[in-house]
């Protein structure tokens, strides 16, 4: 795992978007794992700008989202289907047939989960998986005690997560109680993982997720096992990291990061 600290939210977002853009230019048929949440809104806005002003094309890109709420259809404005259309898909040249999210309205949710895993495999697996970090330490909707080998399946959401997403539904009790989510094991199979964590509210959970012991109580700790995982954070999120001086040194000195400095 590599942690990269940038001074501001904008610079952290720009670094993350720069990495995504470089992977997409190197491989136009990139299979991109997409995440949702406020953190990703900034990232997608930055990618849309690069599409508009810097010739970044999504024409051959294939996407798979991490998760969707159970019971929300693609036309529901609170669904992650709608989120992705609103923040990325409708602004770029992606082929809608290349975009995938789990169907939270499927009659047979276990069957849908299996079908989704099959679609990822048929696409050759995920090249680059984007992640945010939930306040409960989840990635996707892998709530505490999710098996670190789990696959796509239905999960019940914790009160912390429902509270975190309450503003989009008009109160925590109105947030759907369940979601279909890629499993931790599914996420770990991506060839590269890029997690973005912004703001002081995430400082504690970021330190636990990256520097703490691996535990199913915090599914993001499983990323410590991934051979190619980068975590991009801003100064506000980084304040509790024990190794922050070292991480800063890496970004400032390692040749790999020279083009991004």
Among 81, 140, 146, 182, the residue binding ligand GLP under the rule CB under 6 A is: 140
Stretch that binds ligand GLP, among 113-121, 132-140, 213-221, 230-238 (CB under 6 A): 132-140
Residue 138 C-alpha from the chain's centroid: 10
For ligand GLP, the closer of residues 48 and 179 by Cβ is: 179
Rule CB under 6 A: say whether 183 interacts with ligand GLP: no
Among 63, 150, 161, 210, the residue binding ligand GLP under the rule CB under 6 A is: 161
Burial 215-238, CB ≥16 within 10 A → b, else e: ebebbbbbbeebeebbbbbbbbbb
Q: Which residues pair with 4 in a beta bridge?
A: 232
Rule CB under 6 A: say whether 141 interacts with ligand GLP: yes
For ligand GLP, the closer of residues 158 and 215 by Cβ is: 158
Stretch that binds ligand GLP, among 32-40, 117-125, 230-238, 246-254 (CB under 6 A): 32-40
Rule CB under 6 A: say whether 99 interacts with ligand GLP: no
Rule CB under 6 A: say whether 176 interacts with ligand GLP: no
Site residues (CB under 6 A) for ligand GLP, limited to 60-89: 66-67
Q: Which helix H or strand E contains 181, and what residues bound it?
A: strand 178-181
Among 15, 16, 32, 35, the residue binding ligand GLP under the rule CB under 6 A is: 35
Residue keyed to tokens 């991506």: 190
d(CA 22, CA 30): 11
With beta carbons less than 8 A apart as the criterion, state whether 241 and 173 touch.
Answer: no
d(CA 132, CA 213): 19
Structure tokens at 28: 């136009």
d(CA 52, CA 75): 26
For ligand GLP, the closer of residues 79 and 165 by Cβ is: 165
Rule CB under 6 A: say whether 37 interacts with ligand GLP: yes
Chain residues binding ligand GLP by CB under 6 A are 35-39, 66-67, 132-134, 140-141, 161, 165
């Amino acid at each position: 795992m590599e942690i990269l600290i940038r001074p501001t939210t904008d610079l952290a977002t720009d670094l993350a978007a720069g990495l995504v853009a470089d992977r997409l230019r190197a491989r136009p048929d990139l299979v991109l794992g997409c995440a949702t949440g406020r953190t990703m809104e900034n990232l997608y806005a930055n990618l849309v700008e690069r599409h508009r002003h810097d010739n970044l094309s999504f024409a051959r890109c294939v996407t798979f989202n991490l998760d969707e709420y159970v019971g929300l259809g693609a036309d529901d404005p609170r669904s992650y289907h709608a989120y992705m259309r609103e923040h990325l898909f409708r602004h770029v040249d992606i082929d809608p047939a290349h975009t995938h999210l789990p169907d939270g309205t499927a009659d047979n949710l276990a069957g849908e989960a299996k079908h989704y895993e099959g679609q990822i495999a048929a696409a050759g697996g995920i090249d680059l998986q984007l992640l945010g970090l939930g306040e409960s330490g989840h990635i996707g909707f892998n709530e505490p005690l999710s098996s670190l080998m789990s696959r796509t399946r239905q999960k019940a959401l914790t009160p912390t997560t429902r509270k975190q997403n309450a503003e989009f539904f008009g109160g925590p009790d109105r947030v759907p109680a369940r979601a279909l989510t890629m499993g931790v094991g599914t996420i770990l199979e991506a060839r590269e993982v890029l997690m973005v964590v912004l703001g002081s509210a995430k400082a504690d959970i970021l330190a636990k997720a990256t520097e703490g012991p691996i535990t199913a109580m915090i599914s993001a700790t499983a990323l410590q096992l991934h051979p190619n995982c980068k975590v991009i954070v801003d100064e506000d999120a980084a304040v509790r990291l024990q190794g922050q001086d070292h991480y800063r040194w890496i970004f400032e000195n390692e040749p790999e990061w020279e083009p991004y400095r």
